[in-house]
Amino acid sequence: MTPAPSAPIFRPIAERAVLVEFGMALDHAAHEAVLRLDQALAAQPFIGFREAIPAFVNLLVEFDPATTDHPAVTAHLRSLLNAETTARARPTQREVLVCYEDSPDLNAVAAQTGLTPEAVINAHLSGDYAVFMYGFAPGYAYLGGVPEAIRLDRKPAPVRDIPAGSVIIAGAQCLITTLLMPTGWWIIGRSPTPILTHDPARPFLFDVDDKVRFHRISRAEYEAAQ
């Protein structure tokens, strides 16, 4: 296992949270440290703990300011970093169906990467994806693991009214949209796999750190799955 960064930064956020930063850019060692601290905190919460929200390289820890304060929370988090922790649970493998036919940006991605559309599809299917965080909109799970061959910067301007279920990529990240929204990411497919579960106890398909594999389907299979 990759060792955690040795000197995380603790930042007070308003009167009710501490942000623990393990890095400034997307980094697997830093993200691993985030997940280990999140697990340790779940196992040993402090009095007044409310919620922990993991992101790419930081963990936001919210607390009840009537019960505790920033120094006490920071001290508890430091103690967890220095304590021996059990191995993290094995991540769950998820499968997401994707249809690449008639995707708006597949040919543009092929042109910019020097690949054929079929090679872009094969590259996307070969990616080793993991859920790094949720953000921006309900159910927007940011997946790391897009292969180098098809990594592109975001478009210069976003496109409006992109439908839910669009499979989009930008840089090293991939995402399955859940709402009708604008995006500046590249739309290479569409998926009938529901990400929003409508279950209050478990509102989203993925947990942070889950592994994701894409499975190619035809247009007919996509329409039948819908």
pLDDT (tens digit per residue) in 77-90: 999 987 766 556 67
Maximum distance among all alpha carbons in the chain? Answer: 59
**Rounded average pLDDT over 138-166:** 95
Higher-pLDDT residue of 54, 170: 170
pLDDT value of position 199: 87
Q: For helices 106-113 and 117-126, give the axis angle rounded to 10 degrees.
A: 90
Residues 1-56 pLDDT 10s: 344 455 799 999 999 999 999 988 777 788 888 888 998 999 899 999 999 988 88
Residue predicted with more confidence, 124 or 53: 124
Q: Is the pLDDT of residue 208 over 90?
A: no
> In this predicted structure, what is the pLDDT of residue 137?
86
Average pLDDT (156-168) is 96
For the full predicted model, state whether its pTM sits above 0.95: no
Q: Which residues contact 100 (CB under 8 A, 6 or more apart)?
A: 106, 117, 121, 124, 188, 189, 216
Domains of the chain: 9-82 (3.30.1360.40), 93-225 (2.40.100.10)
- Return phi, psi of residue 73, to 5°: -65, -45
The pLDDT of residue 88 is 61
pLDDT for res 2: 43
DSSP character at residue 139:
T
Q: Minimal CA–CA distance to 62: which of 100, 110, 12?
A: 12
Percent of the chain with pLDDT over 70: 95
pLDDT at 134: 87
